[in-house]
Structure 1
Amino acid sequence: MVLVLGTLLVTVSVVLLALALREEPDQRGVARSLALIEATSTAPAALVAEADPPFRERTLDPLLDRSRTLGRRLAGRDAPERIRRRLDLAGNPPGWTVDRVLTWTVLGALTGLGAGALAGLVLGVAFPVLLVLAVGGTVAGFYAPGLLLYQRAYDRAEQVSRALPDAIDLLTISVEAGLGFDAAVQQVAQNTTGPLADELARMLREMQLGQGRAGALRGLAARSTVPELRAFVGAMVQADSLGIPVAQVLRVQSSEIRVKRRQRAEERAQQVPVKMTVPLIFCILPCLFLVVLGPAVLSIMDAF
């Protein structure tokens, strides 16, 4: 009986070993890896790209999509319209879209949170201070794209305000020389540079696409916050609707804008003494007192 059982166990072991080793040598683990490497190296580039997408498609694009969705939820339903308005005021910078601004808002908040927490850990501050730094970094990162857009829109408005008097003078001279209003605007757009020239060129393109002159002028005023430009557009729209000679309106507008430019310069000149008070008190006067009274203080200390 023992001999029969031993023989049976040996037979079963041999059968199981044969079943385990029945696979072909080419199908083993190392052979399969080599075959996969060879197939990948000889496969077309399109198949390789589909089988192994780049890091951006695997990680960055899903992260950006989730950030964009979260930004839309946090900003509210009217956020796209507000951001599009800010982009128009900033001149629609290249690469700036509504989706990108929303994405950068969320990423900026996450970056500010990490930077604030890291700064607190490096400085070794207490937990309340660490929490304040983290919250402050989050808020600063969240509002950073909006502040950057606001600054670009402000700089653009300043450039338009400085270039407007010269542009209207050139427009007046062109109209008085015999050109039509549209041709005069084209001359100003071609012979000048800057945001105002870009806006005038855009207005001409809108008129060429079939939009009326009054609508194109109102669009020009809507894309800017400069009061002088809005007043000029209102006067031109009224002159176009009432049939008033354009040259006369341009001459009056040119004179008024020159006066407003001089008044704005005088206003800023009057603000200079007030703005100089703070650096004068905290920066210049202490240094002056140190230079003037320093030797006297040293002499008094030596005497006593």
Structure 2
Amino acid sequence: MDAAPPPGTTLMGMTATDFGTLLAALATLAVLIAIYMVMTVRDPMAKRVKALNERREQLKAGITASVTKRRAKLVKKNQTTDQMRSFLSNLKVLQDDQLKDAQIRLAQAGIRSKDWAVAVIFGRMILPIVIGGTAALLIYGVDFWPDWGPFKRFMAFAFALLLAYKAPDIYIDNKVQKRSAAIRKGLPDALDLLVICAEAGLTVDAAFNRVARELGKAYPELGDEFQLTAIELSFLTERRMAFENLATRVKLDAVKGVVTTMIQTEKYGTPLASALRVLSAEFRHERMMRAEEKAARLPAIMTVPLILFILPTLFVVILGPAACSISTAF
């Protein structure tokens, strides 16, 4: 038997008591961090409610103030954004229609600040220079991949330039698709609640506000849009403009159909509850059709994993013992 280590043996200058003390301290720190995270859970609706309240104050200032005061209250000076704007204006690359299109796409992605539109246009111009210059330095200057041929180097450099130019648009499009999918999922439930509110005698802005409160935690994106629409219905001079802003902020044909219905009911005085009930049934049927479509595609999607992973294993399990018996017999 090996002799026991003499008392006082150390490892990396620490005894067993020191190691135990260190582990106990780490465990205590982990428990404290866990308690702190549990005690400081933040309400996910608080940030959205704050943004909506700011939007309410901006709309109120825009209606009651003069043109000069309105500009002073609505436009928040951002030094970095102002520098980007002046730089792009000096290069004659900042166009109003391009800026408006970027603002609409950012609104569809859930980004309310208009300053980010200037940042997106600035990124489209700067990122190809930075990333393209880095790629050219690595490919042609440093010769980081010496075994690459001329065609492969050119394709890598062109791919880096294209990816750098499209990176802001790809990021925004991804956020727009995710947000639109989340809004589409909760739209039938929202229309059912709107029907109930309309039949209960609530006004349109009160109905939107009520639906936003009820569905805010289950569908935060939809609740955010409905709450903002309710605020705009309360403060804008034309109610049609509030509905059109909702259709602009959400890149979804179903929402455009709801907006068209709301505008027609406001204009011609047609019953709102019956129209919304028909739309809700149509959207639910459409959601069921999408689920059935995904279920119908499942056998075709599972064919490749079945052939590559399941069938070889099944053949080994079934034919393996027979092959071993045949080899032993011969």
- With the shorter chain as reference, the TM-score category is 0.5 to 0.7
Letter matched to residue 244 of structure 1: T
User: Quick check: 1:153 aligned with 2:153?
Assistant: no
Aligned residues of 1:239 and 1:245 also touching (Cα < 8 A): yes
Distance 1:211 1:105, change over 3 A: same
Specify the alignment match of 1:195 in structure 2. 221
Distance 1:148 1:231, change over 3 A: same
* CA shift for structure 1 position 182: 1.8
User: Quick check: 1:143 aligned with 2:166?
Assistant: yes
Q: How many matched pairs? A: 243
Rounded to whole Å, the distance in 1 between the matches of 2:203 and 2:272 is 9
The 5-angstrom pairing of residues 1-304 of structure 1 reads 68=88, 73=93, 78-92=97-111, 97-117=116-136, 120=139, 121-124=143-146, 125-193=148-216, 194-280=220-306, 283-284=308-309, 288=313, 291=316
Specify the alignment match of 1:25 in structure 2. none
Rounded to whole Å, the distance in 1 between the matches of 2:199 and 2:184 is 23
Aligned residues of 1:171 and 1:184 also touching (Cα < 8 A): yes
Distance 1:115 1:278, change over 3 A: farther
Aligned residues of 2:182 and 2:221 also touching (Cα < 8 A): yes
CA deviations over 1:224-243 (Å, ceiling 9, x no partner): 22222111221222122221
TM-score, structure 2 as length reference: 0.61
* CA shift for structure 1 position 70: 8.9
Distance 1:63 1:286, change over 3 A: farther
CA deviations over 1:45-104 (Å, ceiling 9, x no partner): xxxxxxxxxxxx9xx99995797469863x877422321221122122568622100122
Distance 1:69 1:144, change over 3 A: farther
Rounded to whole Å, the distance in 1 between the matches of 2:156 and 2:124 is 18
Rounded to whole Å, the distance in 1 between the matches of 2:169 and 2:294 is 27
Rounded to whole Å, the distance in 1 between the matches of 2:304 and 2:138 is 30
Bigger radius of gyration among the two: 1
Aligned residues of 2:180 and 2:250 also touching (Cα < 8 A): yes
Unaligned runs of 5+ in 1: 1-56
Rounded to whole Å, the distance in 2 between the matches of 1:210 and 1:252 is 28
Aligned residues of 2:205 and 2:231 also touching (Cα < 8 A): no
Letter matched to residue 133 of structure 1: A
Q: Please, what is the CA RMSD of the aligned residues?
A: 3.8
CA deviations over 1:192-211 (Å, ceiling 9, x no partner): 22221111122122222233
Identity of aligned residues (%): 28
Rounded to whole Å, the distance in 2 between the matches of 1:117 and 1:287 is 46
Distance 1:199 1:65, change over 3 A: closer
CA deviations over 1:95-142 (Å, ceiling 9, x no partner): 862210012222321343245346643332233322221111011011
Describe the SS at the equivalent of 1:97: helix
Aligned residues of 1:68 and 1:100 also touching (Cα < 8 A): no
TM-score, structure 1 as length reference: 0.66
* CA shift for structure 1 position 284: 2.8
Letter matched to residue 117 of structure 2: V
Rounded to whole Å, the distance in 1 between the matches of 2:285 and 2:227 is 26
* CA shift for structure 1 position 145: 0.3
Aligned residues of 2:103 and 2:114 also touching (Cα < 8 A): no
Rounded to whole Å, the distance in 2 between the matches of 1:63 and 1:222 is 29
Rounded to whole Å, the distance in 2 between the matches of 1:100 and 1:294 is 63
Rounded to whole Å, the distance in 2 between the matches of 1:263 and 1:71 is 50
Rounded to whole Å, the distance in 2 between the matches of 1:252 and 1:228 is 12
Describe the SS at the equivalent of 2:110: coil
Letter matched to residue 217 of structure 1: F
Distance 1:266 1:277, change over 3 A: same
Distance 1:286 1:127, change over 3 A: farther
Rounded to whole Å, the distance in 2 between the matches of 1:285 and 1:62 is 59
Rounded to whole Å, the distance in 2 between the matches of 1:71 and 1:267 is 50
Rounded to whole Å, the distance in 2 between the matches of 1:294 and 1:64 is 69
Distance 1:148 1:116, change over 3 A: same
